[in-house]
Amino acid sequence: MSRKMKLYVFDHKGAPDMPREARVCTGAPFDPTDIIPIPCMSFLIDHPDKGLILYDTGWSKSERHHRPWSIPEDMNVISRLAQLGHKPEDIKTLIMSHLHHDHSGYVEHFNNAEITVSDREFTGVAKLYALGMLQPHGGLYIGSDVQSWYDAKLNWKLLGDDEETVSIADGVELLHFGPGHSFGILCLVAHLPEHGTVVIAGDVIYCRENIGPPAYPPMVVYDLDGYKLAVDRLLGYVNKHKATIWYGHDTEQFDTLIKSTEGCYE
């Protein structure tokens, strides 16, 4: 019997300190005490032909990002892989949705992988780094993370604007979006034989509430017009393919997902 593609959800622990207005920007007065915890995830596909495909790598390391709360050792991406019997060097295909610190921790451990990222995202971050505009231990992009990626001499593959849809393996593709939430984002699509098509939004849409109606963007938006175009294109794809969308940081939806310690999607 031929093997089926499996999709695992890695839980990297939610951030306990995200103000509600930062996730869904309604224009209400900013209240830093009105907090909703938000999940942080990455995803692993075990593909019968292509092998392991990792999409994102979760939080930046605690020593790199000085946050006021900690992440248990058994919840980082290295531990999540180990819990399934894998090592970072087993990963030959790594896809980065974008390079914000809650999606790109530990990337320097994946020096056996071809690491695919939007050219705009990579170049935008490299420019900020080269100009000395990244904080070493804070901000959306972490300077000490970027330094570690350069030191590790990683194998990056940059997707240009003309590559809007990219096939990764049979039943797995990327949707490439230009400037919006960040400089450039990649969504992962998995056409699962039993569960159907899943579109992992990778922060093109944070959560259900951003769609509305009425629609509200998150606070972190690099290009608002591009953000709206990306949301429209993504929702168009989801409707056309009768797909399920997994939002980047939706607390309610996250609670319903099967985590890698419990099982997988096929």
Distance CA 218, CA 215 (A): 10
3-state DSSP call for residue 143? helix
CB of 155 to Zn ion, least distance (A): 23
What are the beta bridge partners of residue 51?
47
Instruction: Specify the 3-state DSSP secondary structure of 130.
Output: helix
**145 belongs to the binding site for Zn ion (CB under 5 A):** no
Q: Does residue number 23 form part of the binding site for Zn ion (CB under 5 A)?
A: no
121 belongs to the binding site for Zn ion (CB under 5 A):
no
CA-based nearest residue to 114, from 55, 166, 150, 155:
155
Binding residues among 53-72 for Zn ion as defined by CB under 5 A: none
Q: Using CB under 5 A, which of the segments 40-48, 199-207, 208-216, 256-264 binds Zn ion?
A: 199-207
The token pair that represents 120 in the structure block: 């705009």
Binds Zn ion by CB under 5 A, chosen from 46, 121, 203, 250 = 203
Comparison of 46 and 203: residue with beta carbon closer to Zn ion: 203
What DSSP assignment string belongs to 191-258? EETTTEEEEE-TTSS--GGGT-SSP---S--S-HHHHHHHHHHHHHHHHHTTPEEE-SS-HHHHHHSP
Residue number with CB closer to Zn ion (5 or 24) = 24
Nearest distance from C-beta of residue 203 to Zn ion, angstroms: 4
Q: Which residue has the tokens 């907090």?
A: 35
The residue to which tokens 């392991």 are assigned: 52
Shortest reach from residue 100's CB to Zn ion, in Å: 4
Nearest residue (CB) to Zn ion, 171 versus 184: 184
Q: Does 250 bind Zn ion (CB under 5 A)?
A: no
Binding piece for Zn ion, criterion CB under 5 A, among 57-65, 79-87, 172-180, 201-209: 201-209
Closest approach, Cβ 63 to Zn ion, in A, equals 21
Query: Cβ of residue 45: shortest distance to Zn ion, in angstroms?
Result: 21
Q: Is the Cβ of residue 173 or residue 203 nearer to Zn ion in the bound state?
A: 203
> Closer CB to Zn ion, residue 40 or residue 190?
40
Nearer to Zn ion, 171 or 202 (CB): 202
Q: Which residues 98-117 are close enough to bind Zn ion by CB under 5 A?
A: 100
Length of the chain in terms of residues written: 266
Q: Check: CB of residue 54 under 8 Å from CB of residue 47.
A: no
Q: How far apart are CA 102 and CA 58, in angstroms?
A: 5
- Nearest approach, Cβ of 77 to Zn ion (angstroms)? 16
- Choices 37-45, 95-103, 149-157, 229-237 (CB under 5 A): range interacting with Zn ion: 95-103
Give start and end residues of each alpha helix (H) in the chain: 20-23, 77-83, 119-130, 143-151, 224-240, 251-256
Q: How far is the CB of 42 from Zn ion (least distance, A)?
A: 13
The site for Zn ion (CB under 5 A) is made up of 100, 203
